[in-house]
Structure 1
């Protein structure tokens, strides 16, 4: 791990050791999300509020962002995402958090237009220049997405937290929800799995330089294909794979449409080396909490490798888009991904008539 960046500043927790940003927090990235079962319990009585007719997408299907119709040609997308450090390099932490937050706009089929920064830092423990590097990382990602950070809010916090409120625009006719998959659709995944596994190895100081490079490259790639995918009639549903893992977000598609989702495990792209790392015990606590929250709705095929369950529930920070599209549109969907640099995008399964659950084949 000697070539993996840490913070080049004094460590108030241990003056003899490098300052590790992750040491200030109890979790990192999308692995910090509240477990799905607990979240459902929290939100079960949250309905009944004001729902104006212009609100096209709210909390009813756990979609990626809210969508509010402005007129016949424009709808506003609004979302927010923030978390604690997944890496020790403050600049890269800022980049990862911003990329992850912007992804929700792409997952609704929209184009981001503006962001607000959410900054909560232990200001008496982290040097000002470190906090500045986090913010700079977020700014650089927003610049790459073509949007300004137009404001925000800061507080003094026990743990470092960074993220964005992001707004976007979409034609109401092109809004892609996570609840409109159709029987006969195929499922396409835009990015390989394994970010949580790599982060677990990083936290234990067992991640190679090549593994760290994979982690950064995967989590800082903007999900820009969502804009083009939204205009394709054959694309019926769209979401991004984040803290609940591939299994959790595929289940959301299944529940929203009242269909059975089937994943062909051998076709699922994985980051290099992560299957072996799972076998060696590099699994996040969030992976187990995820499975406890939804595992009863998943049917695993006999003969499936023991590592599959951990990778299915592995929390993906800034993960890939998950697309449900007509089978005849699959090649065009893959072409969109390939054209924007997502070389490992792949068809991984299908949607079928049946109960709202997930099957995983071997």
Structure 2
């Protein structure tokens, strides 16, 4: 009798972008790392926690390079591959670039997972890359204790159209293209508390490619963009504030939430990563005194393959909303604004 394979999520201590090292710990690690020597063609490096590195190739092309990988947040191997690939490609889109190809990063517990299961993970990733028009052209694999999958993703953008998180300006409107709650739904899934509608909402959000990026890069009113992933909306808004030297004001009722996320959060479903996130940056965030802890958890909830956070001049906000909604982002909302002040986030 053949022994049944274990659920993917039982082989991992964390999943999705909730696997990220806490932002304060990461900052400490990077602070002690040697600084890269200056290179004239390195347009974007690690200085402001941007989504990808950018290297100028010539007057008309810049190469965007990023890598992202994590452990499974769902048990279906094909779905796991799809989520991981969409999440990795998101950083390319967030810089305003079009993906051109990818390399697979594969670490699997050989002997615990069958060749067929591992193959399905890779097939899922390749299917999303095919949708993006970016082939998986190679990669690297190792035998690891926990299942790990992701991509090195590469894209091209005009040097004058590179989007970063550091050019937000006072007065800008903030737009978020996807609903929040991915971490809560994934936690509920592991606890076997997520229904079919919740799983469908989770998959629809995490596999939706952030394709508006290149179109946003062509809009002069768009000043800054980042994707909201493992540090939650608060954490990535704070990175934008610090990168631009501004204050960010977020509206508590601004973001949309995935189906069931608010009820689950109110019932006590949370991720360890949301707690770590708040501990890491809560001192730079001001929230209403009566804000329930579960509501705060949703704002620091780690998003896997989350939406784009866009800082756009007020006169361009309606055009951005029309663009993203026309591309299938029905949950896009105006969630706040940028104002003068010390780098911080204020929830109102």
Shift of 1:306: 3.6
Alignment of 1:53-68 (within 5 A): 53-68=40-55
Alignment of 1:35-46 (within 5 A): 35-46=22-33
Per mean C-alpha deviation after superposition, the further-off stretch among 305-314 and 29-38 is 305-314
Q: Counterpart of 2:296 in 1: which secondary structure?
A: helix
Q: Does 1:25 align with 2:4?
A: no
Shift of 1:47: 4.1
Alignment of 1:222-241 (within 5 A): 222-241=209-228
Aligned partners of 1:70, 1:11: CA distance in 2, in Å?
50
Q: Runs of 5+ in structure 1 lacking a partner?
A: 1-8, 13-18
Give aligned pairs, total: 347
Q: Counterpart of 1:115 in 2: which secondary structure?
A: strand
Correspondence for 2:238: 251
Aligned partners of 1:49, 1:266: CA distance in 2, in Å?
41
Aligned partners of 2:206, 2:35: CA distance in 1, in Å?
36
> Residues 185 and 275 of structure 1: is their aligned pair in 2 closer, same or farther, counting only changes over 3 Å?
same
Aligned partners of 2:94, 2:29: CA distance in 1, in Å?
24
Shift of 1:50: 1.9
Q: Does 1:285 align with 2:272?
A: yes
Q: Deviations over 1:253-297 (max 9, x none)?
A: 111111110001111111122111111111000000000000000
Correspondence for 2:118: 131
Correspondence for 2:4: 11
Q: Counterpart of 1:228 in 2: which secondary structure?
A: helix
Per mean C-alpha deviation after superposition, the further-off stretch among 332-341 and 89-98 is 332-341
Aligned partners of 2:202, 2:65: CA distance in 1, in Å?
27
Aligned partners of 1:330, 1:107: CA distance in 2, in Å?
17
Shift of 1:129: 0.3
Q: Counterpart of 1:223 in 2: which secondary structure?
A: coil
Correspondence for 2:129: 142
Contact 2:265 2:295 (C-alpha < 8 Å) held by counterparts: no
Q: Does 1:174 align with 2:167?
A: no
Q: Counterpart of 1:267 in 2: which secondary structure?
A: coil
Aligned partners of 2:38, 2:9: CA distance in 1, in Å?
40
Instruction: Output the TM-score relative to the length of structure 1.
Output: 0.94
What RMSD, in angstroms, separates the aligned Cα atoms of the two structures?
Answer: 1.0
Aligned partners of 1:107, 1:295: CA distance in 2, in Å?
25
Aligned partners of 1:11, 1:227: CA distance in 2, in Å?
44
Aligned partners of 1:20, 1:81: CA distance in 2, in Å?
22
Q: Deviations over 1:173-212 (max 9, x none)?
A: 0001101100000100000000000000001111101000
Q: Deviations over 1:121-150 (max 9, x none)?
A: 001110110000000000100000001110
Per mean C-alpha deviation after superposition, the further-off stretch among 123-132 and 270-279 is 270-279
Instruction: Output the TM-score relative to the length of structure 2.
Output: 0.98
Shift of 1:301: 1.8
Aligned partners of 1:312, 1:131: CA distance in 2, in Å?
34
Q: Deviations over 1:138-167 (max 9, x none)?
A: 010000000111000010000000000000
